[in-house]
Amino acid sequence: MKRILLADDDFLVRSYLSQLVDWEANGYMLAGVAQDGAQALELAEKLQPDIVIADIDMPVMNGISLLQKLRERRHPARVIMLSCHDDFEYVKEAMRIGADEYLLKDAVTPEKLLQTLQELAPADDEEETQERTEEQEREQMLRLLEGTILSCESIAPDAVIAVRLTEYEETMAYQPVEQREQFYRSFLQTCEGAGKNLAAVRGIHVRGGLFAVLCAFRPGMGRQSQQLALRETAAALVQEADRHFAAAVKLGVSDAAEYSTEISSCWRDAKNALEHAFYQPGSIFYAWQCGKMGDMLPRAAEEFLKMAEDLAARRNSEAIKTMLAAALDGFTQEQTRESLVAGWLHSADRKLGIETRPMPKRFSGLREMVQVYTTVCEEMLPDVAQYSEGVADTIRYIQEHYRENISLTDAANAVHLTTTYLSYVFHRETDITFSEYLQSCRINHAKELLERTDERVREVGALVGYHDNRHFSKVFKRATGMTPQEYRKERRKS
């Protein structure tokens, strides 16, 4: 009989789920109930449940932290996350670090809960035994990669290839657990079949969209022959992933270990090489060609975070642009790790009052995302009474006519100034150009229409002055980091 541990800080939810199904009649036992993640972790160690059903947002220790602790301790329990509609980012993180399934609280029915439990815990003993053996082999190979053991029974590897599915979040993360596991099995078979010039190949699913391919060389192969075999294996893997799964992959390939005990070092080198995909085009990155990724924020990036709030308060958009450019150049020069860049972007958004946005998959996308900081200039502008009459009249003119195809010349004629003088005085008093203010005005009104109306994107663009839909979408993404469709979808989730 499968043992269930339930964790939720809401008493009503705990009571509802505890009585939702007849546990024993369906082959389960409700072994324990916890009211926060810390208590759930303690009960998991004591009761050894087969399945943990946990709320993703709990006090003391939330569901994400509970899941991390269970995975770190190699607890065998399968984990189902309970979430609300507005927990999307939490759910993505939970699936990335190893949750087996998730359920929306307001959509849980007896039938849905039992179906999910049955998919996670098939009743067939023979199947359970096979899965347990496979999991034990996987755990052994993971420990080999981590360096906590020096050998494993399945393979004596000489090198490692780190494989990342580039569209994992979009294609696999939210599929039913059974479908995901079937994909993992098929994908790993493809990985293992790519190493025709190697003595042995074993693939394992590490977490989320990350896989490891352990490679053993044929006896007597020299270093050049070993590297050639790894190149051929990597090239075949990329080709086969596209052919059989229509999946794009990025690969980090380690060099050969000098001693078999250095496989954990090979795994670190392979992951380090894989991180170069954030900055560089291509699908395959070789450790013997890649330098070490930067483990600290560049000085220019730190300086931007220190100055961001002050620059925003003083409406100094030129300084923001200059310091941003220096920060991005620093990231490129030092090849800063993607995780550090993501943390920097989150902090910069917070300091400048921008809603948190998803991190782009490539560094080139970051250059477009940061342009949102100059788009907020419209909100930085104080009351028009702070400006000279000509500039104040120009701001009013833009706010009244932004829907039309207006230009600096049109505004200059309207406020009775020369085009050259208006351009100069507008920038001097506001710290932004006429074009930047016009664009930010249009984009902000477009955001409002996307949130509050069901107008088509093309129509929204026309309503704010963009009559070329492709141009509107391009400008909107450059300013916000999202397409109009993505922005509408995100905003309506909250």
Measured CA distances, 429 to 178, 232, 437 (Å):
61, 61, 12
b/e burial code for range 141-151 (CB count within 10 A of at least 16 → b): bbebbeeebee
Out of 58-62, 132-136, 227-231, 488-492, pick the least confident: 132-136
Looking at the structure, tell me whether residues 174 and 304 fall in a common domain. no
pTM of the model: 0.56
Looking up residue 477, the CATH number of its domain turns out to be: 1.10.10.60
Number of domains comprising the chain: 4
Question: Which of 202, 224, 220 is closest to 211 using CA atoms?
Answer: 202
In this predicted model, which residue has the larger pLDDT, 394 or 490? Answer: 394
Q: From CA 71, how far away is CA 258, in angstroms rounded?
A: 31
| Domain end residue (candidates: 86, 120, 154) | 120
Tell me which residue has tokens 């104080």. 382
Q: What is the pLDDT of residues 461-475, one digit of tens each?
A: 999 999 899 899 999
Structure tokens at 400: 């009244």
Looking at the structure, tell me whether residues 270 and 153 fall in a common domain. yes
3-state DSSP of the chain:
CEEEEEECCCHHHHHHHHCCCCCHHHCEEEEEEECCHHHHHHHHHHHCCCEEEEECCCCCCCHHHHHHHHHHCCCCCEEEEEECCCCHHHHHHHHHCCCCEEEEHHHCCHHHHHHHHHHHCCCCHHHHHHHHHHHHHHHHHHHHHHCCCCCCCCCCCCEEEEEEECCHHHHCCCCCHHHHHHHHHHHHHHHHHCCCCCCEEEEEEEECCEEEEEEECCCCCCHHHHHHHHHHHHHHHHHHHHHHHCCCEEEEECCCCCCHHHHHHHHHHHHHHHHHHHCCCCCEEECCCCCCCECCCCHHHHHHHHHHHHHHHCCCHHHHHHHHHHHHHHHHHHCECHHHHHHHHHHHHHHCCCCCCCCCCCHHHHHHHCCHHHHCHHHHCCCHHHCCHHHHHHHHHHHHHCCCCCCHHHHHHHHCCCHHHHHHHHHHHHCCCHHHHHHHHHHHHHHHHHHHCCCCHHHHHHHCCCCCHHHHHHHHHHHHCCCHHHHHHHHHHC
Q: From CA 57, how far away is CA 206, in angstroms rounded?
A: 25
Out of 91-95, 181-185, 237-241, 397-401, pick the least confident: 91-95
Looking up residue 107, the CATH number of its domain turns out to be: 3.40.50.2300
| Domain end residue (candidates: 245, 260, 286) | 286
Looking at the structure, tell me whether residues 308 and 238 fall in a common domain. no
State the pLDDT at residue 121: 67
Please state the rounded mean pLDDT for residues 295-318: 84
Looking at the structure, tell me whether residues 170 and 281 fall in a common domain. yes
Q: What is the pLDDT of residues 252-294, one digit of tens each?
A: 999 987 765 579 999 999 999 999 999 999 999 999 999 899 9
Please state the rounded mean pLDDT for residues 240-255: 92
Whether residue 374 is predicted with pLDDT greater than 70 in this model: the reply is no
What residue numbers bound the domain in which 96 lies?
Answer: 2-120
Residue 215 covered by a domain: yes
Please state the rounded mean pLDDT for residues 187-211: 90
Looking at the structure, tell me whether residues 252 and 166 fall in a common domain. yes
Whether residue 124 is predicted with pLDDT greater than 50 in this model: the reply is no
Residue 291 covered by a domain: no
Structure tokens at 290: 């890649």
Residue 278 covered by a domain: yes
| Domain end residue (candidates: 333, 352, 370) | 370
Looking at the structure, tell me whether residues 327 and 226 fall in a common domain. no
Looking at the structure, tell me whether residues 461 and 383 fall in a common domain. yes
Question: Which of 212, 202, 205 is closest to 152 using CA atoms?
Answer: 202
In this predicted model, which residue has the larger pLDDT, 382 or 188? Answer: 188
Q: From CA 366, how far away is CA 254, in angstroms rounded?
A: 28
Residue 294 covered by a domain: no
Residue 326 covered by a domain: yes
Range from 133-147, 235-249, 307-321, 383-397 that averages highest in pLDDT: 235-249
Looking at the structure, tell me whether residues 424 and 485 fall in a common domain. yes
Looking at the structure, tell me whether residues 52 and 69 fall in a common domain. yes
Measured CA distances, 345 to 209, 231, 303, 366 (Å):
23, 35, 13, 9
Residue 315 covered by a domain: yes
Out of 89-98, 126-135, 173-182, 473-482, pick the least confident: 126-135
Looking at the structure, tell me whether residues 151 and 280 fall in a common domain. yes
Looking at the structure, tell me whether residues 276 and 322 fall in a common domain. no
State the pLDDT at residue 279: 94
State the pLDDT at residue 123: 46
Q: From CA 346, how far away is CA 218, in angstroms rounded?
A: 47
Whether residue 170 is predicted with pLDDT greater than 50 in this model: the reply is yes
What average pLDDT does the structure give for the chain?
86
Residue 409 covered by a domain: yes
Looking at the structure, tell me whether residues 97 and 219 fall in a common domain. no
Residue 269 covered by a domain: yes
